Structure 1
Amino acid sequence: MTDASSFLRSALTLLAAGLLMSSCSSAPKEAAGQAGPPKRDDSFWIGDQVAGSPKLVIDLSAQRLRYYKGGKLVGLSPISSGRDGHDTPTGSFKITQKDVYHRSSIYGAYVDAEGNVVMEDVDSRIDPCPAGARFVGAKMHYFMRVVGAVGMHEGYLPGYPASHGCIRLPTKMASIFYHATPHGTPVQVTGNAAYAKYEPPVPLAPVTSEKVKKPKSNAPDGGMRPGSRKKAPKKGTVPPGTTLYL
């Protein structure tokens, strides 16, 4: 009886050791249906070969835009929504306008006859125009109007909500979504930007395997820094490629 008990204890000890070694040699797996926290470089698009009606869901808390076709998630992109005091409205909307070379009629810069920025980050409704200057609206390439003056467009993503209310997108995703989205597409805006966590910034045209062709414009650009309200004189002409964003 004693020998049998000793044998049983030895067998159980060996079995436990084997299970422990097995668990240490393999990486833990996520539970089915559970995903890790969103990453800043998680953009993707697989919608070209997927049929079905499109729908855009913008999550202000996560600072993400999710693109669905026929109920299937086919696209994802980080965003930068409205900053405090310029909150992006929530609710159910539809795309009512598309303009690949859109410029803001409200926000931009005052420039002189030579194209020098006299005053940056202006609100044309309240900031008086200096003598001899003119207003140049902020570029908003791949613009799709969502509600009122608010739309989604190409823009700089500093890693937090920073716009005047619009939804900024990286160049690549702004172009993809623009060409894939017809007028009347439903847009659902949910969440609260106050809960958004700081993330690494995303450049206008991140390095990708797909070449991005940016729209060209001959009109002068302003030199506004995203999120800035400082109005300072600029010396010289605006550098090529400098872009204003709502």
Structure 2
Amino acid sequence: MFGRAALALAILPSLAGFSFAAEDGRTIQIIVSRAKQSLTVYDDGKIIATSKVSTGKPGHDTPTGIFSILEKRKYHESNIYSNAPMPWMQRLTWSGIALHEGKVPSYPASHGCVRLPSGFAKTLFSMTERGAHVIIADEDVAPVVVRHPFLFQPTTDVQILSDVPLRPSKKTTGPVELAMNNPDRSLLVPKPEPLVRTPEESQPLRILITRRGDRELVADVQTMLTELGFDAGVPDGFAGEMTRSAISGFKRWKNLPSKGTLISKEMLAALYAAAGREPAPQGQLYIRQGFKEVLSTPVAIRDPERELGTYLYTVADIDPKNGQAVWQAIGLRNELSDGTRKRLGIAPEASVLEATGQSVLDRIEIPTRIRTKINDMLTEGTSITITDNGVSPETAPQGTDFITLTR
């Protein structure tokens, strides 16, 4: 703890009154502003370091969005640009975007990476862990504390004594047992000690809530076809040869046109009816932990014709005694094209960016069993990304957190 705090104070002496609670780096957030050519490091919502940077020049723009540190190397050479040296490299995408030491002329000059001054690059490297969030935005953004019933809270580790009325005891001697209702938490009865989590199970959850796309629809079709006796293969969301063959067989069974769109609205309606299912809701919730997929399930989005926007919510701190998580929000500007709006069924209205996205949280409904599961797994550094943009192509099946591109 002292080493981490001393390191931060060496960078920003004016922050000498701050305390640093996140010894393991799970609550570190790095925010890069392309407009200001600056980088700010937050820990538990507090600024602990700042630096100037150089982002991508015209023709080699640095993408904006929500990233995580995927890989760290003290020395790396570019696989794209003539083995250019990239000391203190912290990878953000497998397609070539990273934080690293380089020339920083106070204006955009890189080929897409975020260049850092030499001394600061080494310092930042020592402060982070794989999985730490990096937010790259056009404007200067900062985390804001947000409270909302939608946001998950940890399962409490205490039980309050029953609210049973006092009863007279027939005993006249010896100890008397009383049921008490007292707000003093010192009288709370602790639950049994929870099971010890493995290092992987202690990793923060990465939760993505977005609109269902073609892959989720195809996975549903594969599952229902298999249930009906058609071998559609593994429900992976990709319409391969086995899936296409199963769809053709179903269409013959229901006397549906074999030509035209592979998965038509008519075919879907017939399939849901045959499987005895209601159509899935508009949203999908994904969970990863330690760069590995944990869960994928449909969720409801009310008023789906309205844009969600892009927001990141992060647990900055947890008080396990009181069962309270402190959530912080960052809103990112995300302009959708007319074509994207039409494809997603979003009304062509102006984008609205809120500081904390409270109205967006009001529109998402998560099944109780899923909420309970997440509450039980909640740790500091757990994050929720809400976006219209779906699962980015930069999000690999394994080996990344969810990467959300806003440009």
TM-score (norm. length: structure 1): 0.47
TM-score (norm. length: structure 2): 0.29
Structure with the larger helix share: 2
